[in-house]
Amino acid sequence: IDRKGYVRTTLGKKSIPLHRLLVESFFDLPKDIDFTIDHIDDNKLNNSLDNFKIISNEENISKGWTQTKDKRIEMSRVRKHLSHNFRLKGDRRDTEEINIFKIIMKTIPISEVRIGDLVESFNIELDKVQYKKVEAVHELEVKKENQIKISFKDGYIVTSKWHPMAVKGVNGYFYKRSDELEIGELGVNHRGEVDKILFIDSNPKISEEYMDLTVQGTNNYFASTDKSDNFYLTHNTRKGAIAVYIEPWHIDVKDFLDLKKNSGEERRRAHDLFPALWLNDIFMKRVQEDALWTLFDPYEVRELTELYGDEFTKRYLELEKSEGITKSIISAKGLWKDILRSYFETGNPFLTFKDSANRANPNKHNGMIRSSNLCTEIFQNTSPNYYKIKVTYSDKSIDIFEEEELITVDSGMTKPAKKITALDSIGDKQVWMVDKEMTDGDTAVCNLASINLSKVNTKEDIARVVPIAIRMLDNVIDLNFYPLAKVKKTNEKSRAIGLGVMGEAQMLAESKIMWGSDEHFLKIDEVMESVSYFAIKSSSDLAVEKGIYPTFKGSEWSQGIFPIDNANKEACKLVDRGGLFGYTHDWQELKEKVKVDGMRNGYLMAVAPTSSISILTGTTQAIEPVYKRKWFEENLSGMIPVVVPNLSPETWEYYTPSYDLNQNILVKAGAIRQKWIDQGQSLNIFLSLDKASGKYLNEIYMNAWKYGLKSTYYLRSQSPEAMSDVEDRSQECVGCQ
């Protein structure tokens, strides 16, 4: 490497920048490359060779090369990407050629792969193998029954049944679940070559110890099934995130509030989780009344998670009087203060309202809503996996019971089906064998899209655009890739979608409407009515064309009950449009149509955060006021400079920064939108520290409950003297961005 950072290569004896040789030309070079060293500049060398593997030998060391750090040089492959710095001893410059570095490429067990290594990675878009940096290494466990072995003409791949696999079709590559592959299809084998699938073994019985890698970019990469076995191809996907919901009667609720605190015992913290509270009406009323609140062990009162509204309240009061169960009695207001304190300090837990969500559930006939998602805009029925009891009798006849179903055996005893044994007889038939068969529960799916209100905000434009969006989202259900069979089954059963909006702040600024004014409330009421109307109408039209969703019968849709019919009474008072005759559309006619034609989708609307797509489309984020008139947006893509759209002297005053607003205005605006939305909305609260107080926080979130909001999202706090113009969105759900 010369004084200018250039390297003389054996390829045509030319000199080119080292970083270009390694980064841009690496894949076209021979596997073994010798570098002639003229002079080494430590900084240039480290910067240029960063992330590459090197080897060194005793001959090179004896020629005067040593380490600046007192550590032995490995005589084999050095893994730490030149964290070892080499320096020339004495006065040897430009006089002696010393061959010290060599890029190596070889096959090793995946157990030896380290972060920063480069691994072969097949890019289906470029149809070739590249080398990608390893960003993380994970040890996983994949049960034998979840493994699958795909044999090609040359070699085989073993992976989990739900992994996406690259398949080559007429129009290029596409992904399929491993367990949906077919013999004869062209897949990509363990060498990254197109190869015909000859055999598929759904029960290979290979080691359950798997190694998984996260590699740079979204590509396929080669990995091993048991740390040393044959390499296989798998798929690198974006990081996931987990939101955990509990109810305020949970006996560990106070520990739950501390999960994301920066102080305290580290083993009792979970900094990467997103905690959320599933609050019910009786708790909020107890807070208002400064009454006592009873905590229970969830193992002893499991039925509370299956109830809401009046039924929940009735059972909760019974349990408070019950003897023989674990209880802890505390102050409801004291717990509420702890919740708000944690919310203010960490932005968590998210506050969501169980009874408000379930009262307005259009599919309450077919289950209940047990939580929201990470971004708190999805409200759909879910259910846990459960077991059924299969009873085989001595005459080989079979009965199947629910786990908790009460069965009277011939001895006269009545007991849950799960406690039946081979010693029992039922209906004069001797029980021979009892098996438990697991049945999949329901897992909700987010199929999201957003209408840009800065471009689409008139009745005519909404009527034109919404049907296209609804059709697109409905198609996504059929075209989507599902990681688990039960997820696909749930989505096809409810055909749930989530049409939302973005660009509200831009729409208001360009219309010269101040945020929080009566004009603002009236405008969004009219716009959201139109979006709701045409979303319902479009789904009903699709039902005529493609069929109704499987569980339509018995739903509120089938009875002509729409989101506006479940609207909170206090929220309805926020805008006066002249009562029934103030509506823009003929809702009664639409209700009659839906009763006859049905609905294609069980859930229709949900307002996601859109923190990334709003920037890409050049509008403001979702339903929020602007963070500032200009700032830097920080997300997984890095730092992005942002200026609000069409900022000018005419629009300046109408772009009111979010921290300058009374946050009760955001709550009221959210309540007006919620009247027309069957699911929910991601609603952030922005609090400047100079305005922060327990009274103010209590007022904001009590109003959120009072006006019938189903959820709030982050509480974003900011010091009044903060000079930062950076807004970090990196921890939001990527799918909702």
pLDDT value, residue 223: 41
Give backbone dihedrals phi and psi of 90, rounded to 5 degrees, phi first.
70, -140
Predicted local confidence at residue 678, as pLDDT: 98
Residue found under tokens 């296209």: 468
Task: Please report the pLDDT score of residue 15 as a whole number.
Answer: 47
Reading the block at residue 4, the tokens are 């200018």
Answer yes or no: 572 catalytic: no
pLDDT value for 266: 81
> Nearest 5 degrees, angle CA 116-CA 121-CA 124?
145
The whole-number pLDDT of residue 22 equals: 40
Token pair listed for 297: 């062990």
Integer CA distances (angstroms), 311 to 13, 298, 732, in order: 83, 17, 34
Specify the pLDDT at position 63: 36
Q: What does the alpha-carbon distance between residue 385 and residue 259 come to, in Å, rounded to a whole number?
A: 26
From the list 373, 447, 452, 568, the catalytic residue is 373
Nearest one of 133, 152, 149, 131 to 26, comparing CA atoms? 131
455 vs 503: CA distance, rounded Å: 8
Q: Confirm whether 736 is a catalytic residue.
A: no
Kindly list the structural domains of the chain, giving each domain's residue range(s) and its CATH number in brackets, ordered by start. Answer: 6-103 (no CATH), 110-235 (2.170.16.10), 246-348 (no CATH), 386-439 (no CATH), 448-736 (3.20.70.20)
Which H/E stretch holds residue 599? none
SS3 assignment for 368-391: CCCCCCCCCCCCCCCECCEEEEEE
DSSP state of 410: T
Q: How far is CA 116 from CA 43, 48, 51, 240, in A?
A: 19, 14, 5, 21
In angstroms, the CA 602 to CA 557 distance is: 8
What's residue 39's pLDDT? 36
DSSP 8-state symbol, 625: P
Catalytic residue selected from 377, 526, 624, 732: 377
Tens-place pLDDT, residues 549-608:
999 999 999 999 999 999 999 999 999 887 655 789 999 999 999 999 999 999 999 999
The answer to whether residues 345 and 337 touch, using CB atoms and an 8 Å cutoff, is no
Other CB atoms within a 10 A radius of the CB of residue 541 amount to 18
The pLDDT score that the predictor gives to residue 231 is 38
Tally of CB atoms within 10 A around 584: 13
User: How far apart are alpha carbons 382 and 154 in whole angstroms?
Assistant: 43
User: What is the reported pLDDT for 106?
Assistant: 59
Parts of the chain with a pLDDT under 50: 1-104, 219-236, 720-721, 723, 730
133-153 burial code (b ≥16 CB/10 A, e <16): bbeebeeeebeeebbbbbbbe
**289 an active-site residue?**
no
Q: How far apart are CA 113 and CA 133, in angstroms?
A: 11
Report the predicted TM-score, pTM, of the whole model to 2 decimal places: 0.70
Among 220, 236, 363, 375, the active-site one is 375
Burial of 254 (0-12, 13-18, 19+ CB in 10 A): middle
Write down the pLDDT at residue 724.
52
